[in-house]
């Protein structure tokens, strides 16, 4: 998608994805409670395969977005995972990181096959990503859940506002 769409098309959708993710994170506990009342759990058990297919399709769309534009992919993934039965932000953060690596590997494979990699900067990119991922996991694991969630919402809100401003100017 990235290779075949214009910058203008891209710029119009990104802030909306991020805004939706921040809103989902902000109201995640309320949504989680609503989704997992006994009535909804019984309904999901009866339609287990349909729910699984829906989750797979929604995550495919998010992964396409993550491959298209990485900014906010983590926030969007955390918001989505918060709608599952997971309640521990640290578990969700670990799965988000795994999803990010998976999307990154798929992206790199495609970009390499198309000759779209600038090999001169690749080592810096890899080193930066490995160091950032390691330290993000190391320090975020020690943060209380409320502080981590609040920080993610604040950063996500700031990035969303900046992108709305930047892409609309």
- Give tens-digit pLDDT for 101-111: 888 888 888 88
Q: Does residue 148 form part of some domain?
A: yes
Three-class DSSP category at 139? helix
- Region 62-83: mean pLDDT is 78
d(CA 47, CA 130): 40
Do 76 and 160 contact (CB within 8 A), yes or no? no
Q: Does residue 111 form part of some domain?
A: yes
Per-residue pLDDT at 2: 61
Q: Does residue 39 form part of some domain?
A: yes
Per-residue pLDDT at 127: 92
d(CA 103, CA 66): 7
Per-residue pLDDT at 44: 61
Angle at 73 between CA 68 and CA 77, to 5 degrees: 130
44 burial (CB, 10 Å; 0-12 / 13-18 / 19+) is middle
Per-residue pLDDT at 39: 60
- Give tens-digit pLDDT for 147-169: 888 988 899 899 889 988 887 76
Per-residue pLDDT at 3: 64
Percent of the chain with pLDDT over 90: 5
Q: Does residue 2 form part of some domain?
A: no
Q: Which domain holds residue 105?
A: 7-168
Per-residue pLDDT at 154: 93
- The domain tally of the chain equals 1
DSSP characters for 87-108?
Answer: --HHHHHHHHHHHHHHHHHHHH
Per-residue pLDDT at 43: 60
Q: Does residue 164 form part of some domain?
A: yes
Do 156 and 25 contact (CB within 8 A), yes or no? yes
- Give tens-digit pLDDT for 24-71: 888 877 777 776 676 666 666 666 777 778 878 888 888 887 777 676
Per-residue pLDDT at 12: 79
Per-residue pLDDT at 58: 83
21 burial (CB, 10 Å; 0-12 / 13-18 / 19+) is buried
């Amino acid at each position: 998608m990235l290779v075949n769409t214009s910058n203008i098309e891209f710029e119009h959708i990104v802030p909306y994805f991020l805004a939706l993710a921040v809103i989902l994170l902000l109201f995640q506990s309320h949504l989680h409670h609503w989704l997992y009342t006994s009535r909804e759990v019984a309904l999901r058990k009866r339609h287990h395969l349909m729910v699984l297919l829906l989750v797979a399709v929604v995550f495919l769309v998010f992964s396409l977005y993550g491959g298209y534009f990485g900014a906010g992919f983590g926030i969007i993934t955390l918001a989505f995972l918060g709608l599952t039965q997971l309640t521990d932000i640290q578990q969700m953060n670990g799965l988000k990181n795994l999803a990010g690596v998976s999307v990154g590997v798929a992206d790199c494979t495609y970009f390499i096959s198309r000759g779209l990699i600038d090999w001169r900067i690749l080592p810096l990119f890899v080193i930066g990503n490995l160091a950032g991922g390691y330290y993000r996991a190391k320090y975020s694991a020690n943060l209380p859940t409320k502080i981590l969630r609040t920080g993610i919402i604040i950063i996500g809100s700031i990035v969303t506002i900046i992108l709305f401003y930047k892409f609309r100017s």
